[in-house]
Amino acid sequence: MRKDKVAGRAGQLYGTVAGLLAAFIAGLVVLEQIGVPQQILGYLFVAATLVLYAGIGIASRTVHVTDYYVAGRQVPGVFNGMATAADWLSGASFIGLAGTLYMLGFDGLAYLLGWTGGFVLVAVLIAPYLRKFGAFTLPDFLAARFGGHAARLTGVIVLFVCSFTYVVAQLYAAGLIASRFLGISFEAAVYVGLGTVLVCSLLGGMRSITWTQVAQYLVLIVAFMLPVTILSAQHFGMPLAQLAYGEALEQIAALEQQMLASGLADPDTLVRHLVPGEALDPLNFTALVVCLIIGTASLPHLLMRFLTTSSVRDARRSAGWTLFFVLLLYATVPAYAAFAKLEIYQNVVGASLEALPGWIYTYGRLGLVEICGTAASSADAVREACTAVPDNAGVLRLGDLSIDRDVIVLALPEMAGLPYVLAGLVAAGGLAATLSTANGLMLAISNALGHDVYYRTLDSRAPASRRLLVARLFLLATAAVAAIVATSRPSDILSMVAWAFSLAASGFFPALVLGIWWKRCTTAGAVCGMIAGFGLTLAYLVMTQYGGMAEWYGIRNTSAAIFGVPVGFAVAILVSLVTPAPSRHVQAMVEEIRKPAGTPVMVDGAS
């Protein structure tokens, strides 16, 4: 086996990257002190990190099929954990999640529980077995286990629908960040983000993406932790924000009571931060946690990362490492939400309309902060809008203020009066989270089209070079379409992300789990189960969102998989039982993937 030069020296290389990053941040702090304008600092941050990613992408370019699809299967467990964490932590996690906790209070924690608990499922039920199988893509596994084109093409459709929904949301987030910090138009920003994604994924496929994602993880975790650590040390005398925000929670609860007593908050609309059931009823909370957990264990761009490790043992361990690395970020999110909420309850709500902090207008101009129903673009605009509101006494009430949830993380450094460098760092981190996820998604889609549709279904004699060329052409086409959709600003990004989870869960989870854990599961059973589960979830989403259908049992369509997954399982099991058992060959193959030792069932993506 060829020895991967990057994999062998990864620890040393990324130690250097981390050192350079620290030196770079320190250098920018100095530049800010001597008066370099903020716009230039923002540019430097974004440009330097993009050059870093592109450089890694170019340095690890490849012409080998195994490198392109599964990074040569030589990624050590720890680094695969880091890369998978970057793959996983999207714009929605980095930018949106703290804002969601800010809005929904306790009920937003469903996202934290779901997006971490899912990795237990990955480690126990799926990752080690997929790795032993030795496929290149998820549809590859379905095709070999369930034979023929039906399972493969159903898998490709499910993969395409859920990954594409997700990739559009990422490009949208990239556009949001770049337009705020680079001052370029939203549309241009989407294409700038797209360009770097393409450099990484076009040249080296999975190999480039893996090593870029490791760097992106370092950038995003530093960017997420640093502001909140400084804030915590300043306000609570304790740099560990994850342990210090308890005090902020107490103060928030006390301020809520004060605001209710003084009439600044309306008891009907105030979401109490610590109380469950204020935004989601217990049934919806539980359904959302279940759907996110199962969705985590079914998203193709995540699962294909576990195909890159050098052994089954490493695949399992790297699921544990991934959980560790995502936990570092997720355990910090509640602190962000608490600090931001405390800041706003203390210094914004109840303030005179004449004396609002400057960050309100910075984001108001982007249309992300609204006061009295209009964008808070300037003090005059706010005064004008609020005089039109009945019984306004020139003081900002909680109900007058409406903040877009994506602002919380981006604006926290400015809210707390930290140096602008930290705001730039957060933007670079948000961009890292967004681009790394977009990279993974884009590769998942183009691999499915290039490998599963073109090579496996249309032209099985295509030479390796042409297969890679076609995979890259599909990548370009996918990227172009995704960018066009993103620049049209589809509404409600967070719902779209939750939909992607529900669609993946109902489409893939029953077929994957039964395919590995139940030898008797037949081709007809798996295909019918996928179609039934996926179809039901898709129909529920579309009918409740656009068709005016009433929700079943009051379950929101973001948790649509709560119906789709059980139906998928039931159909797959029932149909399997009435169709003849799989051949002895297939049953032996299932036996084989249950044992870590021995050679994989497929070698270089061929059985």
- Which strands form 401-403's sheet, in the order they lie side by side? 374-375, 369-371, 401-403
How many residues appear in the chain? 607
Cβ atoms 137, 452 nearer than 8 A = yes
Residue indicated by tokens 């695969």? 80
Q: How far is the CB of 476 from other proteins (least distance, A)?
A: 35
Residue 605 beta carbon to other proteins: minimum distance, rounded to whole angstroms: 20
Q: Which CB sits closer to other proteins, 174 or 288? A: 288
Q: Output 112 or 560, the one with its CB closest to other proteins.
A: 112
Question: Which CB, 132 or 145, lies closer to other proteins?
Answer: 132
Cβ-based nearer residue to other proteins, 272 or 456 = 272
DSSP 393: -
Closest approach of other proteins to the CB of residue 592, in Å: 10
Question: Please, what is the minimum distance in Å from the beta carbon of residue 121 to other proteins?
Answer: 7
Tokens of 311: 């052994």
Report residue 585 as tokens: 């060959």
Sign of CA dihedral 458, 460, 464, 466: negative
How is residue 7 written in tokens? 């994999």
Please name the amino acid found at residue 403: I
Beta bridge partners of residue 245, listed in sequence order: none
Question: Three-state SS across 547-604?
Answer: CCCCCHHHCCHHHCHHHHHHHHHHHHHHHHHHCCCCCHHHHHHHHHHCCCCCCCCCEC
Q: Which residue carries 């589960």 as its tokens? A: 533
Report the C-alpha gap between 79 and 84 in whole angstroms.
8
CB 172 within 8 A of CB 472: no
- Tell me the closest approach of the beta carbon of residue 76 to other proteins, in angstroms: 9
Supply the minimum distance, in Å, between the C-beta of residue 520 and other proteins: 15
Sign of CA dihedral 544, 438, 82, 94: negative
- In the bound state with other proteins, the residue whose beta carbon lies nearer, of 187 and 281, is 281
Contacts of 549 (CB under 8 A, 6+ apart): 540, 543
Q: At what angle do helices 493-517 and 523-545 cross, to 10 degrees?
A: 160
- CB 278 to other proteins: min, Å: 11
**How many Å apart are CA 133 and CA 481, to the nearest integer?**
33
Nearer to other proteins, 330 or 339 (CB): 330
**Span between the terminal Cα atoms of the chain, in Å:** 19
Nearest distance in Å: CB 275, other proteins:
7
* CA–CA gap between residue 404 and residue 156 (Å, rounded): 35
Contact residues for other proteins (CB under 8 A)? 1, 3, 8, 106, 109-110, 112-114, 116-117, 119-121, 123-125, 128, 242-243, 246-247, 249-250, 274-277, 282, 285-286, 289-290, 293, 310-313, 316-317, 319-320, 323-324, 327, 330-331, 334, 517, 594-598
Question: Half-sphere exposure (CA, 13 Å, Cβ side) for 273?
Answer: 25
Least distance (Å) between residue 303 CB and other proteins: 16
- Among residues 592, 568, 597, 603, the alpha carbon closest in space to that of 519 is found at 592
Dihedral class, residue 369 (left if φ above 0, else alpha if ψ from -120 to 50, else beta): beta
Closest distance of CB 555 from other proteins, Å:
15
CB-nearer residue toward other proteins: 274 or 484: 274
CB 437, min distance to other proteins, A: 20
In angstroms, what is the minimal distance from the CB of 329 to other proteins?
A: 11
Q: Looking at beta carbons only, is 294 or 427 nearer to other proteins?
A: 294
Pick the closer one to other proteins by CB: 251 or 402. Answer: 251
Residues 6+ apart with CB under 8 A from 599: none
CB of 438 to other proteins, least distance (A): 25
Nearer to other proteins, 250 or 384 (CB): 250
| Contact status, residue 190 vs residue 172, Cβ threshold 8 Å | yes
3-state SS, residue 489? coil
Apex CA 39: angle with CA 38 and CA 44, to 5°?
Answer: 95
Tell me whether residue 330 or residue 359 sits nearer to other proteins (CB atom). Answer: 330
Closer to other proteins by Cβ: residue 265 or 289: 289
Instruction: Select 121 or 209, whichever has its Cβ closest to other proteins.
Output: 121
